[in-house]
Amino acid sequence: MTMNAHPISRRSLLAAITLPWLVSGCSTPLPLGPQPVGDADAAARVRDSAQAHGLDAYQTLTDINVSYSGEWRPLVNRIQPEVVDQGFRGSSQERLMPRGGIVAQAYTGPMGRKQVAWRRGGRTPDDLGDVAVWFNGVRSTDPAAQNAAALVAEGYGLFLLGPLWLADRGLRMQMAGTERVDGRTCDVVDVWLSPGLGRVATDRVAICIDRADGLVHRMRFTLEGFVNTQGAVAEVDTFEHERRFGVMWPMRSFERIVHPIALPAHDWRITGLDVNRGYGASELSGPAFSGAAAAAARPL
């Protein structure tokens, strides 16, 4: 098992720091293009993987409460400071209400507290979701902060839940060959995610499903929801899965950028987890969690 990224040249790094990340669609490993006709075999493969991850148990969860600890690689903050938001990104408490497409996050960093409340769009064709961001209790009106926060919040739902986050949403999917992930032979399924990650109509996700155990060990994805990451592709590898509350959780994860440069980005791990507290969306919608959502996730 390795967490090393591909090597990066000094010239590539300087280009990434000084130039926008807008690249032509023909050069990206995950071109958006026209969405294909749905592939029944691909949809079945994703649902089978969701079953391996604990779909039946997952469907009984009204809320998921997670705490994370992690480290960002220093160069990433220079390239994407709005997404990393280094001053407020240390440990985090996260709350998910899967049935409503809701993710809320409370970050603590050297500059204080950051709170995010996000609801996925898609209720109507024009619905790009709702996001609110607070820094040290003051609500932000900065569109860049809002859009970056929406992308990150939806992304963390995907990273935590993998095929559970994708199954039964009527998404278009297509088989895309095989890939080796840490010595495992995996089937690759491309998914056209609509809505995308954050406040955007579409993203594309490739998930790598282990033929042996049915688990997703790698997710590769576009980042169209924030102007400064459009055209970029990243991937997350998940490790050390554990079954709790009937669901397989990735206890450790690693993110790397794969396009337009190769760069290690972020390591993180689950430090607390509990489910089904019974709160509502209103307890996640302010500058701090309230009611049953307020207590920290149960330490592991």
Q: H helices of the chain, where?
A: 10-18, 40-53, 55-58, 74-79, 81-84, 143-161, 163-166
Q: Per-residue pLDDT for 93 more than 70? A: yes
Nearest to 190 by CA among 202, 180, 178, 204: 204
Taking residues 226-237, report their average pLDDT. 92
pLDDT-derived band at 218 (thresholds 50, 70, 90) equals: very high
Mean pLDDT of the chain: 88
List pLDDT tens digits, range 28-64. Answer: 889 888 888 889 999 999 999 999 999 999 999 999 9
List pLDDT tens digits, range 179-210. Answer: 999 999 999 999 999 999 999 999 999 999 99
List pLDDT tens digits, range 10-33. Answer: 443 334 433 344 444 447 889 888
Q: Please report, for the chain, the start and end positions of each structural domain, with discontinuous segments joined by +.
A: 29-293
Taking residues 73-96, report their average pLDDT. 72
- In this structure, of 20-29, 58-67, 78-87, 247-256, the range with the lowest mean pLDDT score is 20-29
92 within 8 A of 83, measured Cβ to Cβ: no
pLDDT at 80: 60
Q: Which residue has the tokens 């709350």?
A: 95
Nearest to 215 by CA among 235, 198, 238, 231: 238
pLDDT at 13: 38
pLDDT at 227: 87
List pLDDT tens digits, range 110-148. Answer: 889 999 999 999 888 889 999 999 999 999 999 999 999
Give Cβ neighbours of residue 190 (< 8 Å, ≥ 6 apart): 30, 42, 173, 174, 175, 176, 204, 205, 206
- Residue 121, token pair as written in the block: 């769009």
pLDDT at 71: 86
DSSP reduced 3-state for 220: strand
Taking residues 61-81, report their average pLDDT. 81
Asked if omega into 195 is within 30° of 0 (cis), the reply is yes
Strand extents, DSSP E, the chain = 64-72, 91-97, 102-109, 112-119, 130-135, 138-139, 172-181, 184-193, 203-210, 216-222, 233-244, 247-259, 263-275
Kindly report the backbone phi and psi dihedral angles of residue 230, in degrees, each rounded to the nearest multiple of 5, phi listed first: -65, 135
293 within 8 A of 276, measured Cβ to Cβ: no
Query: What share of the chain in percent tops pLDDT 90?
Result: 73
pLDDT-derived band at 74 (thresholds 50, 70, 90) equals: confident
pLDDT at 79: 62
Rounded to two decimals, what is the model's pTM? 0.88
pLDDT at 10: 43
Taking residues 241-245, report their average pLDDT. 98
Nearest to 119 by CA among 107, 128, 110: 128
pLDDT at 8: 40
pLDDT at 109: 84
221 within 8 A of 154, measured Cβ to Cβ: no
Cβ count within 10 A of residue 244 = 15
Residue 214 Cα to chain centre, angstroms:
20
Superfamily of domain 29-293 in CATH is Lipoprotein localisation LolA/LolB/LppX (2.50.20.10)
